[in-house]
Amino acid sequence: MKTTIYTADKSLHFFKELYNIFTDIKKCNFLAYQMTKRDLQSMYRQSILGFFWALAPVIINSLIWLFLNGSGVINVNTPGNIPYPVYIVLGTTLWSIFVETIQSPILSIEIGRGIISKINFPKEALLMTGLYKAAFNFIIKLIPIIAVLIYYQVTPSWSLLLFPFYILSITIFAFSLGLLITPLGLIYTDISKIINTGIPFLMYVTPVVYAIPSSGFFKYFFEVNPLTYLITDARNTLIGLNPEYLFFTIILVFFSIIFLFIGLVIFRKSMPIVIEKIAG
């Protein structure tokens, strides 16, 4: 068994630490898989509706906005004459992927709170567990996407090949943000509450349920929101339109990966302090 010796050395060798992190991630992959399997089984074993709960946010949000638009309370125009049900189902599905991924780091540590202070294991396994569960839920969320595309006879084009890239881009962007705020969020519960409060507002300045305003004050918020370009292009790849912001997405992914590496090192260095705080 590997013996780990903790010393008072506070120096930080970033790339060496990063190498150790990825080495531990590789070693604890099986552990992360087993914890994911355990969590999913416990989540759905005693649930009558089962996998429906993974689709519930998408279905409920879509039905609400379809009702508002159909009743005349709001009048939503979609770009390119896209059927509104297609526009909103794709938008809410992509949005749910972002929300679930940005919350996965802190939720995974919260779920593992009972064991992290008692068992010595790479805490990155908990992060991987959150990603595995998000990937599992994403597969389930493909069902309404495929169903609505078939029902409205939407024919994808070559740009469909870029859809996995945009899903990966949203995931990396969201996970890097979630990872950076996880240490503070575990120590100060106010951080989690701010995130939970701010995420719904962020949806209204992202083209999830309606298009980017052509003018006005809110147009500025849409334009400075990186998710505007990720959601728009990811949706375009599914409905046969060409991506408009591919170069921007590549740049965003590049910086997101840098922030991801920084977040992993901060996470590794802060976990002893976090464990002491939440266990005490």
pLDDT tens over the chain, length 280 residues: 455 554 545 556 888 888 888 898 888 888 888 888 887 777 766 665 566 677 777 888 888 878 877 776 677 767 767 888 899 999 999 999 999 999 999 888 888 777 887 777 888 888 999 999 999 889 988 888 999 999 999 888 899 999 999 999 999 999 999 999 988 888 777 777 788 788 888 988 999 988 888 877 888 889 999 999 999 999 999 998 889 999 999 999 999 999 999 999 999 888 888 777 766 5
User: What pLDDT shows up at residue 276?
Assistant: 76
| CA atoms of 74 and 62, how far apart (whole Å) | 14
User: What pLDDT shows up at residue 1?
Assistant: 46
| Contact (Cβ atoms closer than 8 angstroms) between residue 182 and residue 109 | yes
Q: How far is CA 266 from CA 31, 137, 171, 272, in A?
A: 22, 28, 19, 11
Structure-derived torsion over alpha carbons of residues 226, 227, 232, 234, reported in degrees to the nearest 10? 110
| Contact (Cβ atoms closer than 8 angstroms) between residue 226 and residue 173 | yes
Q: How far is CA 249 from CA 67, 159, 179, 253, in A?
A: 33, 14, 20, 6
Cα angle value 4/104/128 (rounded, 5°): 45
Amino acid 27 reads K
User: What pLDDT shows up at residue 50?
Assistant: 63
